[in-house]
Amino acid sequence: MIDLAAFERGVPVLAAAPGRVRAIRDAMADVSVREAGKASVAGREAGNSVLIEHGAGWQTQYSHLRKGSVAVRPGEQVAAGQPLGMAGLSGNTEFPHLHFEVRRRGEIIDPFVGTEGGESCAPGRQPLWSAQALGTLAYVPTGILGAGLSAAPPQLANSSVDPRKLEGLSAASGAAVFWAQIYGLRKGDVEELRLIAPDGRVLAERRASIARDMAQSLAYIGLRRRAAAWPAGAYRGEYALYRGAPEKKIISFAARRRIE
């Protein structure tokens, strides 16, 4: 998954192996399917894409690319590591990312598992990745996309927190808010949020169970200002996520914001 700022700068998509470009699509808009509706992408769910043939029945497909970014054409030979386009938000997707798919004779092959078997979402007995790539792409099922303290709940743009619309926290702010955006939540997980004043007082806190699996979630807590101004000092937001029985803490982090 790609944060909004990185998406706007441009995230290059590179060919995983040498081959010949079989097909491309490059004209679909970068817009969340929540806004456009699934009917608008029917039959084109992969969005802007590049399909490469590698011989012996092997193919790779690179989907949801940015409109107008595809840099190769059908029939072109490409080298491993050659730029194909930019990650985008086209097709059946709610957030900017690359969908990378490996197929052999029409069958989808998990590159982490390879053709010799193993468990899903973990390296198999003979992964397709190089050792260097496998180390870089270590699987992280759940993690943090962003967190911070602000004067109001953050606004989303294409399912990511829009940094341009975050209200900075100051002594005159009408409220203090701690927010966290997490990916890979599972049903039954328990998350805790806590907002702490400079003197150590807990201004707001919440502990809640996750009701369903979620690709990503934005959680926040806050408190309205009750005095003439927020006291000066360092404010702290703490987030923790627990999973399993007995509960095991799998994420723990803090965000800070100083008011002068």
Residues 176 and 242 in one domain: yes
Residues 150 and 231 in one domain: yes
Q: Is residue 248 part of a domain?
A: yes
121 band by pLDDT with thresholds 50, 70 and 90:
low
The residue from 83, 105, 127 where one domain ends is 105
- What phi and psi, each to the nearest 5 degrees, are found at residue 40? -70, -15
Q: Is residue 117 part of a domain?
A: no
Alpha-carbon Rg of the chain, whole angstroms?
Answer: 22
Secondary element (H or E) of residue 241: strand 233-243
Q: Is residue 90 part of a domain?
A: yes
Residues 62 and 14 in one domain: yes
Q: Is residue 114 part of a domain?
A: no
Q: Give Cβ neighbours of residue 2 (< 8 Å, ≥ 6 apart).
A: 11, 87, 95, 96, 97, 98
Q: What's the CA gap between 193 and 51, in Å, rounded? A: 43
From residue 128, alpha-carbon distances to 74, 124, 244 in Å are 25, 9, 31
**pLDDT above 70 (res 5):** no
Q: Is residue 225 part of a domain?
A: yes
Query: What number is the average pLDDT over the span 45-70?
Result: 97
pTM for the complete prediction?
Answer: 0.64
Whether the CB-CB separation of 3 and 148 falls below 8 Å is answered with no
The rounded mean pLDDT for the chain is 91
Looking at the chain, the whole-number percentage of residues with pLDDT higher than 90 is 73
Q: What's the CA gap between 169 and 69, in Å, rounded? A: 37
Please write down the HEC assignment for all residues of 74-115: CCCEECCCCEEEEEECCCCCCCCECEEEEEECCEEECCCCEC
3 band by pLDDT with thresholds 50, 70 and 90:
low
- What phi and psi, each to the nearest 5 degrees, are found at residue 204? -160, 145
Return the pLDDT at 163. Answer: 78
| CA neighbor of 161 nearest in space, from 221, 212, 109, 220 | 220
Give me the domain span that covers residue 98. 4-105
1 band by pLDDT with thresholds 50, 70 and 90:
very low
161-208 confidence digits (pLDDT tens): 877 788 999 999 999 999 999 999 999 999 999 999 999 999 999 999
**pLDDT above 80 (res 122):** no
60-101 confidence digits (pLDDT tens): 999 999 999 999 999 999 999 999 999 999 999 887 889 999
Q: What's the CA gap between 257 and 177, in Å, rounded? A: 11
Return the pLDDT at 126. Answer: 87
Lookup result for tokens 């000066």: 232
137 band by pLDDT with thresholds 50, 70 and 90:
confident
